Amino acid sequence: MTLDAKPPSKIRSAEDGWLDMSGFLDQAYGFVPLVVPITEPAVGFGAAGGVAFIDKPMSAAADGFGRPNITALGGVATDNGTWGLAAADIRRWMDDRLQTQVGLVYASVNLDYFGDGKNDRLAHDPLTYHLEPVGGGVGAKYRMGSSNFWLGAMYAIATTEVSFDSDSSPFLPDFTSTSRVGGVIPSFTFDNRDNMFTPTRGTYVEATVGVFSEALGGDSEFQRAGIIAMQFVPITSTLTLGVRADATFSFGDTPFYMLPYIGLRGAPVMRYQGEDAADIEAEIRWQFWKRFSVVGFAGAGAAWTDLERFENEKNVATGGFGFRYELARKYGIHMGVDIAFGPDVTAFYVQFGSAWARP
């Protein structure tokens, strides 16, 4: 026995000597501290900070199995006065047959409302508004046998103070109201990705139908149906192609701040809204040297107010590039930045794992 033998490093890989957080995350209270800049065009420049406690995954797990438990706490603040606090826990039980999800949020958000396509003036002269939501959700998913299919449901409730700024329009008086939504969101999921953070192969498909009602704690009656599909294909040992398609449809008296929107890198959040929205994005990642990767991506989306005739349709195309560093090889966590180009802005995003992250 060598008395002066050093214990293995918690932040450096014994395999290649590079910075690697896997050993630190393997500890009972291992966590990833995050302090990243915020450059989302919808809310301006700022920073987000927090910690993510990640349990080590089950050993020798097959694709879609043995995912780690995650508990995250964090906050965000930007230069347009937006700030928020959030906490979330995703945990697996019963030998990976049951997944529970709990989340809480309290925020104060300043945004511009460009309309849902029914008012052309708003597309060029948006209204400034303020949201102050407080709420949360609790849900569970149950694996069907030993398959990669899950059945789930979540209950979500939130109270949001909504106010419009009269300075944004000479025709608008100061206006403040309180909106409350409560609903149940059943889901059906298929997931056989090899990794939940930065997948290199596999499929993820999830369909949801949200029913929001006064009987469930809200003050309005509406529904939201959505489907998201992602496919990851390893072209070579260092080259991965990913494709994501997403569509969301709303029905009934949907609050304007919950209308679907185009969710692409390079398209400001909630900039392109409609009663329905859909988008598709493709990304290719090349791990060209050791732990370093470059990515290129492009996407297109549409938002509209009439499903049959596509009235008041908004279309947008975006694209960009980025780079990644393999921060925790055992967990499959890559981290880096993306620069995206859209019709209105050039945006900068810090990515922890995939840009299309799903637990």
Question: Looking at residue 113, what is its pLDDT?
Answer: 83
Listed as own residue / partner, the contacts of 85-92 with beta carbons closer than 8 Å and 24 or more positions apart are: 90/359, 92/67
Identity at 87, one-letter amino acid code:
A
Spell out the per-residue pLDDT of the chain, length 359, in tens: 444 556 677 788 878 889 888 887 777 566 777 788 887 888 888 988 998 888 866 555 678 888 889 999 999 999 999 999 999 999 999 988 999 999 999 999 999 888 765 656 666 667 888 899 999 999 999 999 999 999 999 999 999 999 886 665 555 555 678 999 999 999 999 999 998 999 999 999 999 999 999 999 999 999 999 999 999 999 999 999 999 999 999 999 999 899 999 999 999 988 899 999 999 999 999 999 999 999 999 999 999 987 555 556 789 999 999 999 999 888 889 999 999 999 988 888 989 899 998 88
Distance CA 200, CA 283 (A): 12
Question: Looking at residue 132, what is its pLDDT?
Answer: 95
CA distance to 301, 313, 332, per residue, from 247 (Å): 9, 14, 28
| Domains defined along the chain, listed by start | 22-352 (2.40.160.50)
Pairing relation of β-strands 202-212 and 175-191?
Answer: antiparallel
| Token reading at 176 | 């403040």
* Cβ neighbours for 127, distance < 8 A, ≥ 6 positions apart: 112, 113, 164, 165, 168, 169, 172
Residue 293 contacts residue 286 (beta carbons within 8 Å)? yes
Distance CA 284, CA 296 (A): 6
Residue 157 contacts residue 138 (beta carbons within 8 Å)? no
This prediction has a pTM of 0.89
Residue 242 contacts residue 235 (beta carbons within 8 Å)? no
Question: Looking at residue 180, what is its pLDDT?
Answer: 95
Tens of pLDDT along 31-83?
777 788 887 888 888 988 998 888 866 555 678 888 889 999 999 999 999 99
Distance CA 42, CA 59 (A): 41
Residue 283 contacts residue 295 (beta carbons within 8 Å)? yes
Question: Looking at residue 61, what is its pLDDT?
Answer: 60
Q: How many helices (H) and strands (E) does the chain have?
A: 2, 16
* Cβ neighbours for 98, distance < 8 A, ≥ 6 positions apart: 92, 140, 141, 142, 143
Question: Looking at residue 53, what is its pLDDT?
Answer: 87
| Token reading at 236 | 């070579």
Half-sphere exposure (CA, 13 Å, Cβ side) for 111?
19
Query: How is residue 16 annotated by DSSP?
Result: T
* Cβ neighbours for 70, distance < 8 A, ≥ 6 positions apart: 52, 53, 54, 55, 88, 89, 90, 91, 359
